[in-house]
A and B are shown apart, each in its own frame.
Chain A
Amino acid sequence: MTPVPPERHLLRAKDIVDARFREPLDVPALARAAYLSPAHFSREFRRAFGETPHRYLLTRRLERAAAMLRNTDRSVADICLTVGLRSVGSFTTSFKRVYGVSPIAYRAAHPPVERARVPTCVLQAYARPQSSSFREDSRAAHG
């Protein structure tokens, strides 16, 4: 039988982020799903998908947070916890770094709109923010 390529195990970890980002997931838990050590896992994940698992998880959470800011009137703290982040302070910092404005300012600038009738997985994938200004990028570039 032809063995499955190693990337398939990394995909399983990526799928876990998509399905369970609301839970307190971290990189070691994802590494276990891919049968790799955390350090090796992060390297291989980046090689396969072009970004680290930490960043993939964070941007996935921020995308959902942005959607909830636009489409609900839930509080920032509530949204932060709902997307799997525990510190409102670091959530606000990450959010500003990615979207350029605070969560409150973002909400004010984006009133709810009628959404296209496509699966949530598609919306989530297309709306996930891209940013090259995460701290881990400079770290990765040096090591």
Chain B
Amino acid sequence: MLKQLTHVQVWVHDQDEALAFYTEKLGMELREDVTVPEMGNFRWLSVGVPGQDDVAITLMAIPGPPVFDEETREQIQKLLATGASGGLFFSTEDAKKSYEELKSRGVEFTQEPTEQPYGIDAGFRDPSGNHFRMAQPRS
């Protein structure tokens, strides 16, 4: 049967910009960066949270033909840009400290650290419009 989750995928409007954001601003590490010329320069690009080696985030460019027709590609682009494409949830040891650090690096926050029944959490976005949350679990 299924053993473990290894990759989650997020669409990004530009892989170079995403790589810089995820590594330089969010502090993730590059895991895989492979370009395949015979597949129209398809680029498998993934990053991960340092210390969590068994899960990576694949930063996927939105393909046009032959994968998706132009209309589908534009629909995905729009869902991404309007914040309708979903998101990821992270944990943090110190939500307020992480918020200050990430904000000082220019990360766009949708919610400041807020007390919740389960802990303190905050929301932010990547340049493409993906929504992320980080929560400091109640100890």
User: Could you tell me which A residues sit within 8 Å of B by CB distance?
Assistant: 1-8, 10-12, 14-15, 18-19, 48-49, 115, 117, 119-121
Which residue from A11, A49, A120 sits with its C-beta under 8 Å from B129? A11
Whether B129 and A19, one on each chain, are in contact in the complex, defined by CB atoms closer than 8 angstroms, is no
Indicate the size class of the contact surface on chain B: 20 to 34
Closest residue to B17 on the A side, CB-wise?
A1
A48 and B82 form a contact (CB under 8 A): yes
Interface residues of B, Cβ cutoff 8 Å to A: 13-14, 16-17, 77-78, 80-83, 108-112, 114, 116-118, 121, 123, 125, 127-129, 133
Residues of B within 8 A of A48 (CB): 78, 82
The reply to whether B110 and A19 form a contact with Cβ atoms under 8 Å apart is yes
In the complex, which residue of chain B has the Cβ closest to the Cβ of A116?
B117
Judge whether A117 and B82 touch: CB under 8 Å. no
Contacting residues, chain B, for A10 (C-beta < 8 A): 82
B residues in contact with A120, CB < 8 Å:
111, 114, 116
**In whole angstroms, how far apart are the Cα atoms of A130 and B78 in the complex?**
23
Pick the residue among A6, A8, A18, A117 that contacts B117 (CB under 8 A): A117
A7 to chain B, nearest CB (A): 4
Given contacts A11-B83, A120-B116, whether A19 and B78 have CB atoms under 8 Å apart is: no
* List of A residues within 8 angstroms of B129 by Cβ: 7-8, 11
